[in-house]
Amino acid sequence: MTAHDRLVGVVGTGTMGQGIAQVALAAGHPVRLYDAVPGRAREAADAIAARLGRLVEKGRMSAEERAVAVARLDPAQTLHELAPAVLVVEAVLEQLDVKQELLRDLEDIVTDDCLLATNTSSLSVTAIGGALRLPGRFVGLHFFNPAPLMPLVEVVSGYATDVTAATRAYETARAWGKTPVACADTPGFLVNRIARPFYAEAFAVHEEQGADPATIDAVLRESGGFKMGAFELTDLIGQDVNEAVTRSVWEGFFQDAKFRPSLAQRRLVEAGRLGRKSGQGWYAYEEGEERPEPHTAAPAEPPARVTVEGDLENAAELVAMMREAGIEVVQEDEDKGTRIVLPSGGQLVQADGQTSIEFRDVVYFDLAHDYRAATRIALATGQDGNPRTLKESVGLFQALGKKVSVIGDVPGMIVARTVARIIDLAHDALVRGVATEEDIDTAMRLGVNYPLGPFEWHRRLGRNWACGLLEELHDRDRSGRCAPSLALLRHSYDPKKWEGSA
Ligand SMILES: NC(=O)c1ccc[n+]([C@@H]2O[C@H](COP(=O)([O-])OP(=O)(O)OC[C@H]3O[C@@H](n4cnc5c(N)ncnc54)[C@H](O)[C@@H]3O)[C@@H](O)[C@H]2O)c1
């Protein structure tokens, strides 16, 4: 085999092109770079060589390995120099006509069995491939930024993509040390589609005056088990970049309410408050600015004794935790639902999509990824709620070692509605053939760092949990934004699916 048998071409040598080239190099391929701007491929090669140098300094690569890799890296002056490539990945401007023109030109240069791939994150692979003479060998290879560090690659098949081409792309990603997932060509592919509610629900709670960004972020992190909250994460990504993805998925689904963008985020983008890069987004990043503190309730007395009605379902661990904290728990197993009755006569109920306005003396507590590990819990109460019930609820969770954030009376609270909607979109994607259950779980864990995949969450939370919560939310907002999909309904109520599961 000659070196050319394995030559990988990378076109467009910006952020992603450089990252992808580095990954291919590290996997032992000779890599040839091309960029439309003269000199940029050479600059990219230098930047990659410098980055590999830093890996040597950190002891993650030997100086010899770096020298060999750099010798295999080769900036091209013209697109024609990519003729011997067995694979070309394009990472040029995210514009349909630009990508189509480039790929048409490439097709005249490379051999007919060269695999052509696009790193597009929001355009349709089918649409780009429509310009090709042989669209069967064209596939989406969607790397995440930064490509050398992010393990996930979405392998996207357009309508015309051959199975052999998709398999070759999948195997290549695997040989490059990545975790590939196979997915169909729909707006947002897999991760960007299913992750939308993570941002949308946080922004919606804020817009509904439920809580401020710092409190929502703290609850998502410390209770939801997410690495970062939606506000701090979008400030890092860039509000313009994150909103553009949301809008493109929303447009891609013909403005389906389930993907509706946020008005508050739109205002940030219009004002140029793009996040860290502009010095201000949801938060301010100028010198001396301090991040606002999340709402944290003052210490309160815990109740000495509570009555638990029902088994508390996915919050059952709270019973043992209350006993360990010295709270006397009287358990009533009659089929009265799942609630903690406090000495005030009021009740603590897990967020279920209803509100305290409807049930006066109820305080809702949010879903936690793990009630034992959570360091914070959100409580919601209506303005007419009994102050004694709220105090006892705060004291109870403080006695369990949690910080407590009291938020407004928003149905589904913060973590619960976010997780329920992610579970719903995952089911919808599954039945529409976008990807397998396993690949969806893998993609959400690796692509956006979720503590669990949506299907793992669904099984852990219980058969009707997400669907029941979304039905309640849908009852209170008929726009369709939170309507459970038919797929989730089927999956939640079909006993066969639940045989053998907890
Ligand atoms: N940045 C990300 O986080 C990210 C993540 C995943 C996918 N993507 C996708 O990767 C692609 C590239 O994004 P990026 O962030 O690296 O962009 P970038 O602006 O950093 O780089 C694009 C490069 O392409 C070059 N270019 C433009 N038109 C060209 C043409 N016709 N022929 C050759 N070179 C051309 C530009 O000169 C530039 O160097 C886009 O399709 C984008 O959607 C980006």
pLDDT in tens, 135-191: 999 999 999 999 999 999 999 999 999 999 999 999 999 999 999 999 999 999 999
Beta-strand pair 403-407/362-365: unpaired
Q: Which atom of ligand 1 is nearest to the CA of 13?
A: 39
Closest C-alpha to ligand 1, atom 30: 36
Q: How confident is the model at residue 109 (pLDDT cuts 50, 70, 90)?
A: very high
Closest C-alpha to ligand 1, atom 36: 12
Which residue out of 90, 124, 142, 314 is catalytically annotated? 142
User: Please, is 128 exposed, middle or buried when counting C-beta atoms within 10 Å of its C-beta (0-12, 13-18, 19+)?
Assistant: buried
Q: How confident is the model at residue 491 (pLDDT cuts 50, 70, 90)?
A: confident
pLDDT for position 358? 78
| Distance from residue 456's CA to the centre of ligand 1 (Å) | 34
Spatial CA neighbour of 431 closest among 499, 492, 362, 357 = 492
pLDDT for position 463? 85
Which residue out of 192, 314, 393, 405 is catalytically annotated? 192
Span 473-477, average pLDDT: 94
pLDDT for position 336? 64
pLDDT for position 338? 84
Span 479-502, average pLDDT: 78
| Distance from residue 90's CA to the centre of ligand 1 (Å) | 8
Alpha carbon 251 to its chain centroid, in Å, reads 19
Q: Which helix (DSSP H) or strand (DSSP E) does residue 460 occupy?
A: helix 454-461
Q: Which atom of ligand 1 is nearest to the CA of 99?
A: 31
| Distance from residue 499's CA to the centre of ligand 1 (Å) | 47
Between CA 89 and CA 179 the distance in angstroms is 17
Q: Give the CA-trace dihedral at 269, 274, 278, 281, to 10 degrees.
A: 110
Q: Which atom of ligand 1 is nearest to the CA of 120?
A: 41
Provide the b/e sequence for 215-242 (b: ≥16 CB within 10 Å).
bbbbbbbbbbbbebbbbbbbbebbbbbb
Which residue out of 29, 90, 121, 458 is catalytically annotated? 121
User: Please, is 112 exposed, middle or buried when counting C-beta atoms within 10 Å of its C-beta (0-12, 13-18, 19+)?
Assistant: exposed
| Distance from residue 248's CA to the centre of ligand 1 (Å) | 17
- For residue 275, what are the β-bridge partners? 280
Q: Are the CB atoms for 22 and 147 separated by under 8 Å?
A: yes
**What tens digit of pLDDT does each residue of 216-275 get?**
999 999 999 999 999 999 999 999 999 999 999 999 999 999 999 999 999 999 999 999
Span 325-349, average pLDDT: 89
* Strand boundaries in 135-262, DSSP class E: 138-143, 152-157, 179-184
**What tens digit of pLDDT does each residue of 319-329 get?**
999 999 999 99
Span 21-34, average pLDDT: 96
User: Please, is 60 exposed, middle or buried when counting C-beta atoms within 10 Å of its C-beta (0-12, 13-18, 19+)?
Assistant: exposed
pLDDT for position 5? 64
Choose one of 11, 81, 121 to mutate for the ligand 1 pocket test, by most ligand atoms within 8 angstroms of C-beta: 121
Q: Which amino acid is at 68?
A: V
Which residues are CB-neighbours of 300 under 8 A, at least 6 positions away? 391, 392, 394, 395, 398
Choose one of 82, 92, 152 to mutate for the ligand 1 pocket test, by most ligand atoms within 8 angstroms of C-beta: 92
Q: Are the CB atoms for 484 and 469 separated by under 8 Å?
A: no
Q: Is residue 142 annotated as part of the catalytic site, yes or no?
A: yes
- Between CA 305 and CA 308, with CA 306 as vertex, the angle to 5 degrees is 150
Q: How confident is the model at residue 212 (pLDDT cuts 50, 70, 90)?
A: very high
| Distance from residue 175's CA to the centre of ligand 1 (Å) | 24
Q: Name residue, tokens 């909607």.
A: 421
Q: Which atom of ligand 1 is nearest to the CA of 44?
A: 39
Least confident window among 202-206, 224-228, 358-362, 459-463: 358-362
Q: Which helix (DSSP H) or strand (DSSP E) does residue 49 occupy?
A: helix 40-57
pLDDT for position 3? 47
pLDDT for position 294? 98
Q: Which atom of ligand 1 is nearest to the CA of 101?
A: 31
Choose one of 15, 20, 145 to mutate for the ligand 1 pocket test, by most ligand atoms within 8 angstroms of C-beta: 15
Q: Is residue 427 annotated as part of the catalytic site, yes or no?
A: no
6 or 334, which is more confident: 6
Q: Are the CB atoms for 16 and 143 separated by under 8 Å?
A: yes
pLDDT for position 2? 44
Q: Which helix (DSSP H) or strand (DSSP E) does residue 447 occupy?
A: helix 437-447
Closest C-alpha to ligand 1, atom 10: 91
| Distance from residue 9's CA to the centre of ligand 1 (Å) | 14
Helix/strand number for the chain, H first, E second: 19, 15
33 or 289, which is more confident: 33
**What tens digit of pLDDT does each residue of 407-418 get?**
999 999 999 999
| Distance from residue 188's CA to the centre of ligand 1 (Å) | 17
Ligand 1: list residues with CB < 6 Å. 11-17, 35-37, 40, 91-94, 98, 102, 119-121, 143, 145
Q: In this structure, what token pair is assigned to residue 341?
A: 């009755």
Between CA 7 and CA 2 the distance in angstroms is 9
Average pLDDT value over all residues in the chain: 94
